[in-house]
Amino acid sequence: MPAPRLTNENTAAPWRTCLHEAGHAVAGWRLLHRTTRAAVFGNGSGVADLGGEGGVPVCFKDAAATAAGKAAESLADLYPPPLVAMAEPLEKTYPEEAGRLMAGVASLMPDEVAIARWCIEGREDQPNLWAKRHDWVRASASEFVLEYQHEIVETAAGLYARGVITLPAEPAQEGTVHVD
Protein backbone atom coordinates (compact mmCIF):
# COMPACT_ATOMS: atom_id res chain seq x y z
CA MET A 1 0.00 0.00 0.00
CA PRO A 2 1.47 3.40 -0.91
CA ALA A 3 2.28 5.89 1.83
CA PRO A 4 -0.37 8.55 2.47
CA ARG A 5 -0.04 11.57 0.26
CA LEU A 6 1.55 14.35 2.29
CA THR A 7 0.28 17.68 1.09
CA ASN A 8 -0.06 21.07 2.64
CA GLU A 9 -3.87 20.70 2.73
CA ASN A 10 -3.92 17.58 4.90
CA THR A 11 -0.95 18.36 7.16
CA ALA A 12 -1.00 22.13 7.83
CA ALA A 13 -3.72 22.23 10.50
CA PRO A 14 -2.55 19.12 12.43
CA TRP A 15 1.05 20.36 12.27
CA ARG A 16 0.02 23.75 13.66
CA THR A 17 -1.83 21.96 16.49
CA CYS A 18 1.28 19.86 17.22
CA LEU A 19 3.44 22.99 17.33
CA HIS A 20 0.94 24.71 19.63
CA GLU A 21 0.88 21.83 22.11
CA ALA A 22 4.66 21.35 21.85
CA GLY A 23 5.10 25.04 22.68
CA HIS A 24 3.16 24.51 25.91
CA ALA A 25 4.98 21.27 26.73
CA VAL A 26 8.50 22.59 26.16
CA ALA A 27 7.71 25.79 28.09
CA GLY A 28 6.32 23.80 31.01
CA TRP A 29 9.37 21.56 30.91
CA ARG A 30 11.95 24.35 30.60
CA LEU A 31 10.32 27.18 32.57
CA LEU A 32 8.48 25.23 35.26
CA HIS A 33 10.83 22.23 35.46
CA ARG A 34 7.90 19.83 35.43
CA THR A 35 7.18 16.62 33.57
CA THR A 36 4.89 17.65 30.75
CA ARG A 37 2.79 15.66 28.33
CA ALA A 38 1.08 16.64 25.10
CA ALA A 39 -1.42 14.82 22.92
CA VAL A 40 -3.39 15.42 19.73
CA PHE A 41 -6.77 13.95 18.90
CA GLY A 42 -8.50 12.80 15.74
CA ASN A 43 -10.82 15.83 15.78
CA GLY A 44 -7.84 18.17 15.33
CA SER A 45 -7.68 19.38 18.92
CA GLY A 46 -4.84 18.89 21.33
CA VAL A 47 -3.91 19.22 24.96
CA ALA A 48 -0.78 19.81 26.99
CA ASP A 49 -0.55 18.85 30.64
CA LEU A 50 1.99 21.16 32.21
CA GLY A 51 2.02 19.22 35.44
CA GLY A 52 0.31 21.93 37.46
CA GLU A 53 -3.16 22.61 38.73
CA GLY A 54 -4.56 23.84 35.41
CA GLY A 55 -6.88 26.82 35.29
CA VAL A 56 -5.61 30.34 35.89
CA PRO A 57 -1.80 30.55 35.94
CA VAL A 58 -0.40 31.09 39.43
CA CYS A 59 2.79 32.91 38.43
CA PHE A 60 4.42 34.65 35.49
CA LYS A 61 6.14 31.46 34.28
CA ASP A 62 2.81 29.60 34.26
CA ALA A 63 1.31 32.43 32.20
CA ALA A 64 4.28 32.37 29.80
CA ALA A 65 3.96 28.59 29.36
CA THR A 66 0.28 29.11 28.58
CA ALA A 67 1.09 31.83 26.03
CA ALA A 68 3.86 29.74 24.43
CA GLY A 69 1.29 27.56 22.63
CA LYS A 70 -0.03 30.36 20.46
CA ALA A 71 3.46 31.78 19.96
CA ALA A 72 4.76 28.40 18.77
CA GLU A 73 2.15 28.26 16.01
CA SER A 74 4.22 30.83 14.10
CA LEU A 75 6.88 28.13 13.61
CA ALA A 76 4.56 26.53 11.03
CA ASP A 77 5.65 29.30 8.66
CA LEU A 78 9.32 28.32 9.10
CA TYR A 79 9.19 24.54 9.49
CA PRO A 80 7.11 22.29 7.25
CA PRO A 81 5.37 19.23 8.68
CA PRO A 82 7.54 16.12 9.00
CA LEU A 83 7.63 13.87 5.96
CA VAL A 84 6.07 10.98 7.84
CA ALA A 85 2.50 9.86 8.11
CA MET A 86 0.63 11.43 10.97
CA ALA A 87 -0.11 9.12 13.90
CA GLU A 88 -3.37 7.25 14.09
CA PRO A 89 -5.87 9.17 16.22
CA LEU A 90 -5.02 8.86 19.90
CA GLU A 91 -8.55 7.60 20.52
CA LYS A 92 -7.67 4.53 18.45
CA THR A 93 -4.13 3.83 19.68
CA TYR A 94 -4.49 4.77 23.38
CA PRO A 95 -8.26 4.81 24.05
CA GLU A 96 -7.99 4.91 27.86
CA GLU A 97 -5.37 7.65 27.80
CA ALA A 98 -7.33 9.61 25.21
CA GLY A 99 -10.48 9.37 27.28
CA ARG A 100 -8.71 10.66 30.38
CA LEU A 101 -7.07 13.52 28.51
CA MET A 102 -10.23 14.50 26.62
CA ALA A 103 -12.21 14.56 29.87
CA GLY A 104 -9.66 17.02 31.22
CA VAL A 105 -9.88 19.18 28.10
CA ALA A 106 -13.59 19.77 28.68
CA SER A 107 -12.85 21.45 32.02
CA LEU A 108 -10.05 23.68 30.74
CA MET A 109 -10.53 27.32 29.90
CA PRO A 110 -9.11 28.63 26.62
CA ASP A 111 -5.48 29.79 26.81
CA GLU A 112 -6.36 33.45 26.18
CA VAL A 113 -8.95 33.45 28.98
CA ALA A 114 -6.46 31.92 31.42
CA ILE A 115 -3.82 34.50 30.49
CA ALA A 116 -6.33 37.38 30.77
CA ARG A 117 -7.45 36.22 34.20
CA TRP A 118 -3.84 36.06 35.38
CA CYS A 119 -3.22 39.57 34.05
CA ILE A 120 -6.21 40.92 36.01
CA GLU A 121 -6.10 38.76 39.15
CA GLY A 122 -5.06 40.75 42.20
CA ARG A 123 -5.09 43.98 40.20
CA GLU A 124 -8.79 44.36 39.56
CA ASP A 125 -8.64 48.05 40.52
CA GLN A 126 -5.63 48.80 38.25
CA PRO A 127 -6.83 48.35 34.65
CA ASN A 128 -3.82 50.29 33.35
CA LEU A 129 -1.64 47.31 34.38
CA TRP A 130 -3.71 44.60 32.66
CA ALA A 131 -2.51 45.35 29.13
CA LYS A 132 1.09 45.78 30.31
CA ARG A 133 1.05 42.36 31.97
CA HIS A 134 -0.55 40.82 28.87
CA ASP A 135 2.08 42.36 26.57
CA TRP A 136 4.84 41.21 28.94
CA VAL A 137 3.59 37.60 28.94
CA ARG A 138 3.09 37.48 25.16
CA ALA A 139 6.49 39.04 24.41
CA SER A 140 8.22 36.67 26.84
CA ALA A 141 6.46 33.67 25.27
CA SER A 142 7.56 34.79 21.80
CA GLU A 143 11.16 35.16 23.01
CA PHE A 144 10.99 31.72 24.60
CA VAL A 145 9.74 30.16 21.34
CA LEU A 146 12.52 31.85 19.40
CA GLU A 147 15.16 30.56 21.84
CA TYR A 148 13.78 27.00 22.04
CA GLN A 149 12.36 26.65 18.54
CA HIS A 150 14.42 23.57 17.70
CA GLU A 151 13.24 21.71 20.82
CA ILE A 152 9.66 22.77 20.11
CA VAL A 153 9.86 21.54 16.51
CA GLU A 154 11.47 18.25 17.63
CA THR A 155 8.74 17.77 20.22
CA ALA A 156 6.03 18.66 17.69
CA ALA A 157 7.48 16.15 15.21
CA GLY A 158 7.31 13.41 17.85
CA LEU A 159 3.77 14.43 18.68
CA TYR A 160 2.84 14.44 14.99
CA ALA A 161 4.30 10.97 14.43
CA ARG A 162 3.02 9.35 17.64
CA GLY A 163 0.04 11.33 18.91
CA VAL A 164 1.39 11.70 22.44
CA ILE A 165 4.73 12.78 23.89
CA THR A 166 6.20 13.17 27.38
CA LEU A 167 9.03 15.45 28.47
CA PRO A 168 10.37 14.18 31.82
CA ALA A 169 11.15 16.75 34.52
CA GLU A 170 14.76 15.64 34.85
CA PRO A 171 15.94 14.49 31.44
CA ALA A 172 18.90 12.14 31.24
CA GLN A 173 20.76 14.66 29.13
CA GLU A 174 20.15 18.15 27.84
CA GLY A 175 17.66 18.33 24.99
CA THR A 176 16.47 14.73 25.32
CA VAL A 177 12.84 14.12 24.42
CA HIS A 178 11.04 10.92 25.41
CA VAL A 179 8.44 9.75 22.92
CA ASP A 180 5.75 7.39 24.21
Per-residue confidence (pLDDT) for residue 94, from 0 to 100: 73
Asked if the structure places residue 70 within a domain, the reply is yes
157, 166, 175, 176: which is closest to 47 by C-alpha?
166
Asked if the structure places residue 76 within a domain, the reply is yes
Per-residue confidence (pLDDT) for residue 151, from 0 to 100: 97
Domain range for 44:
8-167
Asked if the structure places residue 81 within a domain, the reply is yes
Asked if the structure places residue 94 within a domain, the reply is yes
Asked if the structure places residue 176 within a domain, the reply is no
pLDDT tens for residues 22-45? 999 999 999 999 999 899 988 888
How many CA atoms lie less than 13 Å away from 140 in the CB half-sphere? Answer: 17
In this prediction, the residues of the chain whose per-residue pLDDT falls under 70 are 1-10, 54, 104-106, 171-180
Which distant-in-sequence residues (6+ apart) come within 8 Å of 84 by Cβ?
Answer: 160, 161
CATH code for position 23 = 1.20.58
- What's the domain count of the chain? 1
Asked if the structure places residue 23 within a domain, the reply is yes
Per-residue confidence (pLDDT) for residue 8, from 0 to 100: 44
Would you say 45 and 122 are in contact if contact means Cβ atoms under 8 Å apart? no
Asked if the structure places residue 3 within a domain, the reply is no
Asked if the structure places residue 25 within a domain, the reply is yes
pTM: 0.84
